[in-house]
A = this chain, B = another copy of it.
């Protein structure tokens, strides 16, 4: 059997800040550099969502793209676009997880894995925070099988 996947791009512009409240300003500056600036900064995030599925012999699609788009709009764009991640995502509030690309993907994986239009399934997330690097995330079985 061939393996077929579709990768959809979704964009959101957001602010974030890296800081551990239990550390001194010097420690934060040492570990997080400019990302520790007090009011945050921002990025045009580009998320790539890869889902795997069989090709439907009637429609020729491996996933219902309209349904996938609606899901990504509800679970990625509406909650995150034009927002400050530390303020709107409880997991990234002060004292919580740092909103790095790695943690943003760890946060998104379960909510996207459970909502990909069946029978397609989530197989990879990739997040570009800026042009110079990106992070890939492939969740474990437990995460993708609610």
Interface residues contributed by chain A, number (CB under 8 Å) = 68
Residue in chain B with minimal CB distance to A50: B136
Neighbouring B residues of A97 by C-beta, 8 Å: 57, 60
* Number of copies of this kind of chain in the complex: 6
Which single member of B15, B55, B61 contacts A40 (CB below 8 Å)? Answer: B15
Q: A residues engaging B (CB < 8 A)?
A: 1-9, 11, 13-16, 18, 20, 31-35, 37-44, 50, 55, 57-62, 65-66, 81-84, 86-88, 97-103, 105-106, 109, 130-140, 143
Is B135 in contact with A5, judged by CB distance below 8 angstroms? Answer: yes
With A61-B102, A102-B62, A103-B60 known as contacts, the answer to whether A41 contacts B131 (CB < 8 A) is no
A139–B39 contact, CB under 8 A?
no
- Are A8 and B132 interface neighbours, CB within 8 A? yes
Question: A131-B9, A135-B5 are known contacts. Are A39 and B15 too (CB-CB below 8 A)?
Answer: yes
Contact of A6 among B33, B130, B134, B139 (CB under 8 A): B134
Known contacts A2-B109, A2-B143, A42 near B14 by CB under 8 Å:
yes
Contact, CB under 8 Å: B2 / A84:
no
**How many Å lie between the Cα of A44 and that of B130 in the bound state?**
7
Contact flag A137-B2 (CB < 8 Å), given A15-B41, A42-B40? yes
